[in-house]
């Protein structure tokens, strides 16, 4: 049983999981909407919303904190200067998940995750 287990392991090692979330977050920031598996989307939602909360400050330390997680200058710049200021008055819920389809190959549920 998974009592008190706080996150999904997604069938990956910790380094692989960290890289997966980083790459999904970069794609979401660049395109503002991506389609992925529903469980990956749910994990990505908490990952990105924490970054947006930090990026809302817009100062140098926010840039450093976000860059430490993303390791991508363009995505960091876009998040801190363009996306995060839109949510200055919002207290949370920066992303939305919509279930979209069932993948034909393995019958996995797909979902769109997008910024609100």
Q: What is the pLDDT of residues 63-114, one digit of tens each?
A: 999 999 999 999 999 999 999 999 999 999 999 999 999 999 999 999 999 9
> Domain of 52: which CATH number?
3.90.1030.10
Please report whether residue 7 resides in a domain.
no
Render pLDDT for 6-65 as a digit per residue (tens, 0 to 9).
889 999 999 999 999 999 999 999 999 999 999 999 999 999 999 999 999 999 999 999
What gap in Å lies between CA 10 and CA 90, rounded to an integer?
Answer: 30
| Any domain includes 33 | yes
How many distinct structural domains can be found in the chain?
A: 1
Is there a contact between 66 and 76 (Cβ–Cβ < 8 Å)?
Answer: yes
Domain that holds residue 95: 14-115
Between CA 55 and CA 39 the distance in angstroms is: 25
CA separation, residue 68 to residues 22, 64, 97 (Å): 10, 6, 25
Q: Is the pLDDT of residue 2 over 90?
A: no
What is the DSSP-derived secondary structure letter of residue 57? Answer: T
Q: Is residue 103 part of a domain?
A: yes
- 8 within domain boundaries: no
């Amino acid at each position: 049983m998974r009592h008190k287990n706080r996150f999904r392991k997604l069938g990956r090692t910790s380094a692989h999981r960290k890289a997966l979330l980083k790459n999904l977050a970069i794609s979401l920031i660049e395109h503002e909407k991506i389609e992925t598996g529903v469980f990956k989307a749910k994990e990505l939602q908490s990952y990105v919303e924490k970054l947006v909360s930090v990026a809302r400050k817009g100062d140098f330390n926010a840039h450093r904190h976000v860059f430490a997680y993303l390791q991508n200058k363009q995505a960091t710049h876009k998040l801190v200067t363009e996306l995060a200021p839109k949510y200055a008055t919002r207290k949370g819920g920066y992303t939305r998940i919509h279930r979209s389809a069932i993948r034909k190959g393995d019958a996995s549920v797909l979902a769109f995750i997008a910024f609100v």
